[in-house]
Structure 1
Amino acid sequence: MSDFRAIGGVSATLKSLLTDRMELPVNFPGVPVTIGPPPFSALDNNPRLEPLRINLFLYRVSENGYLQNQEIPGRGNPGAYGHPPLSLNLHYLVTAHGNEETQIQGTPFFDDTHAQYLLGSAMRVLHDVPIITDSIVTRRDPSGVAILDASLRDEYERIKITLEPLTLEDLTKLWTALTLRMRLAAAYAVNVVQIESRRARGYPRPVGQPASWLAPPEPGGPPTPGPMISVIQMRSPMIAGVSVRRANGTVENALPYGRIGANDVLVLRGTSLQGPQTYVSFDDVLVPASYVDPTRVEAPIPDASVPGAGAIDPAQRLQPGVVSVKAIVRDPRVPGGAFSSNEASFMLVPMVDPASLAYVAGLPRKIVVTGERLSGPAPRGQTMIGHAVVPSTDYLSTTPKKIVVPVPDSLPAAGVQCIVGATLADPVLLGAGVLSFDLQIAGKTRPITANLPASIPRDDLAALLAARIHDAANGDALFLGTRVDLWRERLLIVPGGLTPAIAVMPGAGSNFAAALGLVTPQPPGAGSASISGALAAVPALTAGTPRIAVTIGAQPPVVVRIGPAASLTALADALQSALQAASPLAEYQQAQVGVSGKQLLVIPGAPSLVRFDAVPGDDTTVVELQLHARFAVRVRVNDAESFDDVSVELPQ
């Protein structure tokens, strides 16, 4: 180990290396290598003739942070603790001096080419010998002499030389501090130089157990042993499987889906899970285990409070989504003695209370859902009612425990309002000019204008009118949701929200609405129609003889048979024929069935509500036609979806 001579030994080694290995032109005598700052004289800032010389200037010493707390391997006593050596990096400035005087047009000029020769030769040597070891010896007389200084021999760390690029700013500061003009120079870092500490090493007392924990040692008695250490053999716990047991249940679900606020219990299986204290960490929430054995741990999924641990900081409460869990085994006798298992995960989902789900009629139709974690801090959620998806941005009100969700128009409804136009020719003759009418929905009126040609194909008319109504909506959902269909050569208009009152009034100076038959008297049941859920295609009816029960107003129900159909229009025609053939009463005889969007619209023959039910022996047809069914309600937050058995019956 080097002592205080190590720094000077490095400088002496570099001097010996350069003196021995530098190549010089034949006309150069021996060039000295000096150690120290560049010489200063009053003429230093003036051009003058200078002799040839290489100067080594140690301008900075820094501590090596990587070896700051590291003992030399094999040098320390295993039973001792002491002080690591002082590990240093040395920073040198290699400066070349030397010039010759020449004449340029009678003016003396000092050429520094010789200094550049010297610097290139010195840099070549330091590049070729980047590590100086005990085996490097001199080549010039006296040859065979070790170049490494005696104070650095037999060291664990080698002397390594590295070119250290300096910025122009660093060089400027360096020469300014020396109050010298800038010279041709190169910077090098030499590491690592170690200087052994002279402080005495300490040796710990042997560990033992005192004669008494309470009484001090008696005078003249045996020496008191060192502190007693409790050594506890523990193995790191490992989780091999995760499952969830429902509240008050005994069956463990292999799919690890747990609910907040439902008293579900997380079950971890693995090895070495038991200890003096066992906890389960749910992300950042630590919960004491409710049951522990070496291969199994149970803990309740936490909400606002943890049994035995108190309330949870609201900022730390778990949110729906993937939750990381791990088992933590502690021993209070060992400070900081906690062993954590590997991480596992389970899906935390919202909890929906089936008993409190409520349907609220009105405008708009809505359902009220209560439970836990029904919304999160970010607006990332949806509610699924059957196949209809309502984004959280459309919720009527939102709290983590209660959401109010509008029922989409694509789900069944009763008391639907509609307008049925007159039978139209093809093409529809309108007369040139701007044609207009007023559309009123729920007491709100919007002027609808259309600059149309004198005639228009009948198949294009419904889409054109729907576009004009949507353009005039001004953000009102009732008008934006209004649909216009061509049904049996007649226009069929259904308002957004399905149930608000709708009326068409002639526009000023235009017979547009009258020409389309939109202001003529409407069918008696146009204000009390019933609509099915959206049908992607003609449903495949699974019953051998598909039948449904239909009740209009206070009249006795009738059972109608549904025949096969190739399209929704054909299905509507078949249902209309079956209704008219089922009873001689006007409610059934004058009933009409159309298609609005992808939904069946049933207009009774009288201003009475229509109800559809299953019949004995066939409880599937009415559901497959989505005329009357129960629709599952699921809430999704952060891509985690509830699985509670919750449904809503529609229409109501």
Structure 2
Amino acid sequence: MSNALAIAAVTATLKDLISDSLLGLDLSSIGSITVTATPPDRITTGQTEPNQLNLFLYQVTPNSGWRNQTLPTRDGSGQRLRNAPLALDLHYLLTAYGAQDLNAEALLGLAMLALHDTPGLDRARLRNALGPPNPPFGDFSALNLADQIESLKITPQYLGGEELSKLWTAMQARYRPSMAYQVSVVLMETEAAARAAPPVLKRGADDRGPAARAAGAPRLESIRPAASELLRAARLGDALRIEGRNLQAADAELVFEHPRATAARTLPVAATASALALDAQLPAAGVDAGAMADWIAGFYAVRLRLASADQPAIASAPIAMMLAPRVEVSPLNAAPGALALTLRCSPRLLPEQHAGVRVRFGGDELLADSIQTPADPEQPTTIEVTVPAALAVAGRYPVIVRVDGVESIAAVADDQGVFGFDPQQTVVIA
């Protein structure tokens, strides 16, 4: 595949081809001739018009035969699997200019015959035009264009009067005798590293072939706090209810992937009375070691992974789960007037999450004055926020923190399942 200079390299090679075709011809009656690759509106016309052949790239279109090759190029986590080529067709306008009568027609004929005799740019010509001793782009080499898998073909395109009129009008240039050509196909590819599977040395244990499963893969339909179907997000310490099809607890675990995490988190699952549901328990901050720092507030992609000892691992498609921050508010009671609140947030916030943190006091959204995360990984993040005196009037105000688009849960359910604002996250001003 070729690099980002491929388009310019094709233009340079075509220009070189036309120039070479004029060498050795007796063109003294015409005079000196230049071959350029300039926009037509920048070429001098009129009484001082030069003898000139100009090659202008006026359009780039996708190549329909190559545009859907090697897709998809990334996996579900965004990791690059392969470098799919950018496949392009290049459309050129060859224009002739002449200082005297018939000069433009003669030059256009010479150039068209050269391109007719050379219907493609072979690898030898590309290496001669783009390589030493005078590479057109200096140290930034375009020589790998000669090594792309597809050859470059030059095809004439006979444009009608309406098409030519629109084209020259768009270029805001004076019309001169012209001929259009298409060069196909140019394959450009990034040089970024991609993941690749190692070679297969044997198929299964002792090269006995692949192992087959009679049952279908698990399919997750929902994951939510087990306490209530009305809760949109879970918190550290919550029990989870997982519902779906083809579920099993034996040799199964939940895999949690967060876009800001360097590694996935896993939890064991437990069977329930229903064949369509499993249970799991999120670790509790302050009780389970590492829970405060290892988990991150925000959106998770959750999969059920089956990994028995004698079978290859199989995982479900991911579903989304929100992990909301658990917030402790202080003080809970205050007098009217400007109020300084301290919020203790678990799990701990990452530095890159600080800019997006918002605190809602009742119906008003506030920016944090400061966000501090102690060095001790078992300590929560502390958020300081000031409520202006105009907002801190008598009343009851639930306090909600939003991190990465996920809001803390300020409601609790009573024994009857009726929700109300959590008194531990509600500031009373009286």
Whether TM-score is above 0.5 comes out as: no
Q: Give the greater-gyration-radius structure (CA).
A: 1
TM-score, length-scaled by structure 1: 0.28
TM-score, length-scaled by structure 2: 0.41
Task: Determine which structure has greater relative contact order: mean sequence separation of CA pairs < 8 Å that are 6+ residues apart, divided by chain length.
Answer: 2
